[in-house]
Amino acid sequence: MHNGRVGKVAETHRQYLGDILVSARHLLQLINDVLDLAKVEAGKIDFRAEPIDLGRLVGEVRDVLRTVASRKRIRVELDPDATLETVIGDPSKIKQILYNYLSNALKFTPEDGHVHVRFRASGAEHFRLDVEDDGIGIKPEDYNRLFVEFQQLDASMTKRYQGTGLGLALTKRLTEALGGRVEVRSAVGTGSCFSAILPRVLHLPEMETDHAA
């Protein structure tokens, strides 16, 4: 009869359980990304517009990924623009964009590296989020493949850098759905900077139509 007591887990079994957990999380992320991407492409994703404290939002995303950064001893530095006026947007979608960019930067930045997160005014009607790392960098001829679903730039990266291959594709779709655009600049062996240029005020035509009715 089982007495309800749990014995010690052997180290080998602990490693197996760890592998199962990592695989389960990877599968869950893949499913979530596929569902979100399908919603965006079908025009079924909901947006809301409200005032956003960008400094707080960026800090919250950094804190969510603090463990990942600590594991590789990567220093994540925040560089806010205190003069940027109030932004009206969808905080959950902007968080998702920033999360995808920052998690991607942490993945491809070596141990003891640095990642900088900045937000700045970009003209009178937009602002930009920049995530810059000192990671492995990207070849210019590979730029057009960065935001394509299920693609990694080098087959050898699939084993070394695990990922769904959907994060950047989803980021691009979300950014464009919010009325913005994505940018990237990089140099092999030096690092990369991924940006999202977004409107300071998110307009929701469907809400205006409902109100007019």
Query: Would you kindly state where each structural domain of the chain is located, as residue ranges?
Result: 48-212
Q: Cα separations (Å) of 147 from 100, 175, 178?
A: 12, 12, 17
* Whole-number pLDDT of residue 3: 56
In tens digits, the chain (213 residues) has pLDDT values of 455 555 566 777 666 665 565 545 544 455 555 555 556 665 667 888 999 999 999 999 999 889 889 999 999 999 988 888 789 999 989 999 999 999 999 999 999 999 999 999 998 899 999 999 999 898 888 887 787 754 555 544 444 545 555 778 889 989 999 999 999 999 998 999 999 999 999 987 654 433 333
> For helices 11-42 and 167-177, what crossing angle results, to 10°?
30
Residue type, 44: K
* Whole-number pLDDT of residue 164: 53
Enter the pTM of the model: 0.75
Length of the chain: 213
Q: If we measure between CA atoms, which residue out of 209, 204, 212 comes closest to residue 48?
A: 204
* Whole-number pLDDT of residue 183: 94
* Whole-number pLDDT of residue 203: 85
Class of the domain covering 48-212: alpha beta
